[in-house]
Amino acid sequence: MLSNFDFSVILTALPYLFGTGMVFTLSLTAMAAVGGVILGTLLAMARLSGIPGVWHLAKGYVELCRSLPLVLVIFWFYFLVPYIGAYVTGAATPIQVGAFPSALITFMAFEAAYFAEIMRAGIQSVPKGQTAAASALGMNYWQTMGHVVLPQAFRNMLPLLLTQTIVLFQDTSLVYVLSLTDFMGAASKVAQRDGRLVEMYIFAAVVYFAICFSASLLVRRLQRRVAIIR
């Protein structure tokens, strides 16, 4: 029962949970989100480019990522990245990549598929007349995209991109399967060490809830503001 719920366990673990765990989680989330959006936008553009080969490849990549569980993809990259590293650097043996870079590459590559779908919808939400007007002014493809289409697409899709980032924030907890020390990993390590599963897991749930819920409220407010501007 909860009668022997021990708050002091949580208190003493706080520096470790936040100083080590949450810092890992937040940096991973932020960097994977930025990288994922950039990569996703490129994928979306490739998919909409209509260039044979290019759009097939982009579509294949997005569909493949979206049909695989994140846990499997984490395993894939965990074992694949050293080989890719060896290939890129020309080394003879798989090179050791740190836990954080490995996780970052995984999440960037995986979430890019989801961001790509959002950006594709965003690009398609910009009226065709805008592209026509940009072309009429003499802009080339990259100028049209960079100055006219993408800024509007980003603004239209901002709430969705942020919602997906909240999902990404939750997803990072799955690095647990690699025994990395993100927030959840830290909580679970303390839980195992002190035999305090109830306290640590309930606390972790409360922290995740507080962060995700407040973030989603902010996104909703932003959504209303965007809706009014439009």
Partner 1 sequence: MNYNWNWSIFFEPSPEGTGTYADMLLSGLYWTVVTALCAWVIAFTLGSLMGVLRTLPSRTANAIGTTYVEIFRNVPLLVQMFLWYFVLPEILPRGIGDAVKQMPDAPFYTAVVCLGFFTASRVAEQVRAGIQALPRGQRMAATAMGFTTAQTYRYVLLPNAYRIILPPMTSEFLNNLKNTSVALTIGLLELTGRARSMQEFSFQVFEAFTAATILYVAINLVVVVCASVLERSVAIPGQR
Residues making contact with partner 1 (CB under 8 A): 1-2, 64, 67-72, 75-76, 79-80, 83, 86-87, 92-93, 170-171, 173-174, 176-177, 184, 188, 191, 197-198, 201-202, 204-205, 208-209, 212-213, 216
Q: Considering the complex, state which of residue 54 and residue 71 has its C-beta at the smaller distance from partner 1.
A: 71
Q: Considering the complex, state which of residue 148 and residue 191 has its C-beta at the smaller distance from partner 1.
A: 191
CB of 20: closest distance to partner 1 in angstroms?
A: 18
Query: If you ran DSSP here, which 8-state letter would residue 94 be given?
Result: P
Q: Considering the complex, state which of residue 84 and residue 158 has its C-beta at the smaller distance from partner 1.
A: 84
CB of 4: closest distance to partner 1 in angstroms?
A: 10
Q: Considering the complex, state which of residue 96 and residue 142 has its C-beta at the smaller distance from partner 1.
A: 96
Q: Considering the complex, state which of residue 134 and residue 169 has its C-beta at the smaller distance from partner 1.
A: 169
CB of 75: closest distance to partner 1 in angstroms?
A: 6
CB of 204: closest distance to partner 1 in angstroms?
A: 5
- Cα gap 37→48, rounded to integer Å: 16
CB of 31: closest distance to partner 1 in angstroms?
A: 19
- Cα gap 146→113, rounded to integer Å: 21
Q: Which letter, b or e, does each residue of 188-214 get, where b requires 16 or more Cβ atoms within 10 Å of its Cβ?
A: bbbbeeeebeebbeebbeebbeebeee
What token pair was written down for 76? Answer: 């894939």
